[in-house]
């Protein structure tokens, strides 16, 4: 098994403070978790392998990502930083990378304009382009024979629908088919978030995580639902993910990055020092 990455996620909204980390449940009922720069410094010191910074209302509000907060965050951390939210053009990708990001995460804009993935990969390299896929279970399998039907743990059958604008809009797009397409377009990595599990502390959505991990060649970052180190373990062992992303357990002091890594080492899941 290859070394697995632990990635804290900073979901940031623009407010009177200039940017605040928040966390909700299924993308709703957001509560404040702190200053993004201070949290980034904390996770850098705890031994996080990477950080993800998501401006979660930029696309919905039709505005650009918070450049100044990104610059301040990048100046304080010495691990790879991925930035997403409101990135809709090659020029914007260039601006984010110049601000100090190592990678950009594209979600809504990629669905609306898939060629942006190809253009970004051609210009900046696939290693810089992460496609974020937010998905939600859809139980209407009878009327969707063209979708990838997945059997859940309880034997029920669903397909996973891509949602955009921070989970506010369904697209009718099949998650597995979309993931394969962006891989072909040149994406270097996929950040997969199950909206059904987001903030629930119930663990990753293992069926869709495992499906993408098995069918794609590029790395899959599992996201949504981590309530403790054992969920990270499940994501790597059962979900076959390459990296695990979490927010709530780190932001609110329930676990540190080191706590998670110690648990994984104890259970023979290889992680970086």
pLDDT digits (tens, 9 = 90+) for 116-136: 999 999 999 999 999 999 999
Instruction: Based on the residue annotation, tell me whether 196 is a catalytic residue of this protein.
Output: no
Residues 51-97 have pLDDT tens digits of 999 886 655 565 555 788 889 889 989 999 999 988 999 999 999 99
CA dist 197 and 187 (Å) reads 24
Question: Which of 2.40.110.10, 3.20.20.70, 3.30.70.2740, 1.10.1060.10 would CATH assign to domain 5-134+172-267?
Answer: 3.20.20.70
Mean pLDDT taken over the chain: 90
From 11, 35, 49, 55, active-site residue: 11
On whether the CB atoms of residues 65 and 58 are closer than 8 A, the answer is yes
CA dist 172 and 162 (Å) reads 7
Using DSSP bridges, classify how beta strands 220-223 and 150-151 pair: parallel, antiparallel or unpaired: unpaired
Q: Hey, CA dihedral for 214, 270, 78, 239, is it positive or negative?
A: positive
Dihedral angle at the C-alpha atoms of 179, 181, 184, 186, nearest 10 degrees?
Answer: -70
Residues 199-235 have pLDDT tens digits of 788 999 999 999 999 999 999 999 999 999 999 999 9
Locate the DSSP E strands across 114-219.
129-138, 150-151, 157-164, 169-174, 189-194
Find the mean pLDDT for residues 17-38: 60
Instruction: Based on the residue annotation, tell me whether 202 is a catalytic residue of this protein.
Output: no
From 49, 134, 205, 242, active-site residue: 134
Q: Where are the domains of the chain?
A: 5-134+172-267
Burial of 100 (0-12, 13-18, 19+ CB in 10 A): middle
């Amino acid at each position: 098994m290859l070394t697995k990455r632990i990635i804290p996620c900073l979901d940031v909204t623009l407010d009177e403070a200039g940017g605040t980390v928040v966390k909700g449940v299924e993308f709703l009922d957001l509560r404040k978790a702190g200053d993004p720069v201070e949290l980034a410094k904390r996770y850098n010191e705890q031994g996080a392998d990477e950080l993800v910074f998501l401006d979660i209302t930029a696309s919905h509000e039709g505005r650009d990502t918070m450049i100044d907060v990104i610059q301040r965050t990048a100046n304080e951390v010495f691990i790879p930083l991925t930035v997403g939210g409101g990135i809709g053009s090659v020029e914007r990708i260039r601006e984010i990378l110049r601000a100090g990001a190592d990678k950009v995460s594209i979600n809504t804009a990629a669905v609306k304009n898939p060629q942006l993935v190809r253009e970004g990969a051609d210009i900046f390299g696939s290693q810089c382009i992460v496609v974020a896929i937010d998905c939600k279970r859809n139980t209407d399998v009878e009327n969707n024979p063209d979708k990838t039907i997945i059997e859940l743990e309880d034997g029920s059958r669903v397909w996973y629908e891509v949602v955009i604008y921070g989970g506010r809009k369904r697209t009718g797009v099949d998650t597995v088919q979309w993931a394969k397409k962006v891989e072909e377009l040149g994406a270097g990595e996929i950040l997969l978030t199950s909206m059904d599990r987001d903030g629930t502390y119930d663990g990753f959505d293992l069926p869709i995580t495992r499906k993408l991990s098995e069918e794609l060649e590029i790395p899959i970052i599992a996201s949504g639902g981590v309530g403790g180190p054992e969920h990270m373990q499940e994501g790597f062992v059962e979900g076959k993910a390459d990296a695990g992303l979490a927010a709530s357990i780190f932001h609110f002091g329930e676990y540190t990055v080191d706590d998670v890594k110690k648990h994984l080492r104890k259970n023979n899941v290889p992680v970086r020092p």
